[in-house]
Amino acid sequence: NAGVIQTPRHKVTGKGQEATLWCEPISGHSAVFWYRQTIVQGLEFLTYFRNQAPIDDSGMPKERFSAQMPNQSHSTLKIQSTQPQDSAVYLCASSLEPNTEVFFGKGTRLTVV
Amino acid sequence: AQSVDQPDAHVTLSEGASLELRCSYSYSAAPYLFWYVQYPGQSLQFLLKYITGDTVVKGTKGFEAEFRKSNSSFNLKKSPAHWSDSAKYFCALEGTGNTGKLIFGLGTTLQVQP
């Protein structure tokens, strides 16, 4: 079990460019989550899929952020027109079902210059 | 509104001492509570959870936590502390709807001095 796999581990983009982050959840897990971690805001929930269906995207900045889960083995988080304030560590996580342990990936550190 | 408060941003203690990291929550219903740990350069790792039942729950790495409904707290404890426990600890609340979505506190950085 390789755990939740996130690629790339580090990404640097120029202001205004697009960034796509990839996540491979643990096989068999039905829930996939995206969080953002910064020093100031801490861990913020972004969005959540269950059985590939989008369930809750209440944490997503609506205009430039989007997430998809085209199949059970991967999810993507896309940020259009990146801004310096998007710089953060983006964490993907998965779990078997509610109330159980959520397993986190190592994250993608996004730096917008 | 649902929220988690970890009032101590930093805690420093000596190896062998007892540690207690504080966590309080705000939630109108019965809470599902979790503790996670993040070692430098690593991802978050699950320590323990409280869903229902016994108010003292035991987790991995020798940690335990006590749920106290009376003051809405879920403090993490370990005795004795070891230098390898130095890390950042996050308390979390599972949000409304039983979805697995977690609401985190800002974390407490623990430094255990040898």
B44-97 pLDDT, tens per residue? 999 999 988 889 999 999 999 999 999 999 999 999 999 999 999 999 998 766
Question: How far, in Å, CA of A33 to CA of A47, rounded?
Answer: 6
DSSP bridge pairs for B108: B89
On whether any CB of chain A is under 8 Å from the CB of B52, the answer is: no
Task: Let me know: does B66 contact B55? Beta carbons within 8 Å.
Answer: yes
Tokens of B93: 């609340």
**Tokens standing for residue A2:** 């390789």
Measured distance between the N- and C-terminal CA atoms of chain B, rounded to whole angstroms = 41
A window 60-79, beta carbon within 8 A of B: none
CATH of the domain at B102: 2.60.40.10
* Domains of chain A as residue ranges with CATH: 5-106 (2.60.40.10)
Number of separate domains in chain B: 1
Tens digit of each residue's pLDDT (9 = 90 or more) over B99-111:
778 999 999 999 9
**Whole-angstrom distance, CA of residue A37 vs CA of residue B70:** 31
Domain that holds residue B89: 3-113
Of A4, A55, A103, the CB nearest to B99: A55
pLDDT confidence of A98, banded at 50, 70, 90?
confident
Between CA B59 and CA B56 the distance in angstroms is: 10
Q: What is the pLDDT of residue B56?
A: 96
